[in-house]
């Protein structure tokens, strides 16, 4: 049974996002939806080692070719060199004294390399997520929604994308239970699994913060053990 998670590209994502993707064999990067400047596609939130409530946004400057209607896949990095320097310097400032700095330092280096040669936001954000997933041992594959056929409508689109990558199970975060219509999945013979991330990822000092902090503090092996065990709210 192949499982699929569909999620927008996030820049150095939060632990709860990684928890969902770790449950899936395929990650469909939802890159052909409207960019939301208040979300996590072009930014991440760092928290100090000593005080996790001391937080700061790390943002990549972007340009929107079609204004507010721009799709995530259309966004371009406005100043790659400034973005690269800010990413490398700020993350190092926050976490260089952490026990597992070397592990996340390699991830930061990979993203810095991407920022030198890639001008699309989606690709850079995707690379940052894949760097962390690789650190956690994920061996799934990646597809992009912009390269797949799908009908319009939130739930219908998700069902079509799941079917398009050959998956029999759609892995959904707990928030999906508020809006997801299961009928399109049932019609296509796809089961829906609502995945609940570990409770600690929902604490105020953790839920909005990049997984960089917990990885730097406790290491990839421990974090994978905390995130990987599947906990399902319900399944159809």
Predicted TM-score of the model (pTM): 0.94
Average pLDDT over residues 209-233: 86
For residue 234, is pLDDT > 80?
no
DSSP state of 44: E
Token readout for 85 is 């320097």
The position carrying tokens 């597809």 is: 143
Token readout for 10 is 């996030």
Contact 147, 31 (CB under 8 A): no
DSSP state of 192: E
Q: Count of domains in the chain?
A: 1
Q: What is the pLDDT of residues 102-126, one digit of tens each?
A: 999 999 999 999 999 999 999 999 9
Q: What is the pLDDT of residues 119-164, one digit of tens each?
A: 999 999 999 999 999 999 999 999 999 999 999 999 999 999 999 9
Range of the domain at 113: 3-235
Contact 142, 148 (CB under 8 A): no
């Amino acid at each position: 049974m192949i499982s699929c998670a569909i999620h927008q590209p996030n820049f150095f994502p939060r632990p709860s996002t990684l928890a969902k993707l770790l449950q899936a064999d395929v990650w469909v990067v939802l890159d052909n939806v409207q960019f939301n400047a208040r979300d996590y596609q072009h930014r991440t939130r760092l928290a100090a080692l000593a005080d996790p409530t001391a937080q700061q946004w790390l943002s990549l400057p972007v340009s929107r070719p079609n204004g507010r209607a721009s799709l995530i896949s259309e966004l371009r990095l406005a100043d790659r060199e400034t973005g690269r320097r800010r990413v490398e310097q700020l993350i190092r400032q926050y976490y260089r004294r952490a026990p597992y700095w070397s592990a996340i330092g390699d991830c930061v280096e990979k993203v810095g390399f991407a920022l030198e040669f890639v001008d699309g936001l989606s690709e850079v954000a995707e690379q940052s997520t894949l760097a962390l997933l690789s650190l956690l041992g994920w061996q799934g594959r990646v597809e992009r929604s912009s390269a797949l056929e799908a009908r319009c409508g939130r739930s219908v689109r998700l069902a079509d994308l799941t079917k398009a990558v050959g998956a029999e199970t759609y892995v959904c975060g707990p928030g999906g239970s508020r809006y997801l219509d299961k009928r399109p999945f049932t019609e296509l013979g796809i089961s829906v699994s609502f995945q609940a991330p570990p409770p600690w990822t929902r604490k105020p000092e953790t839920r909005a913060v990049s997984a960089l902090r917990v990885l730097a503090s406790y290491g990839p092996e421990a974090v994978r053990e905390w995130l990987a065990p599947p906990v399902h709210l319900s399944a159809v």
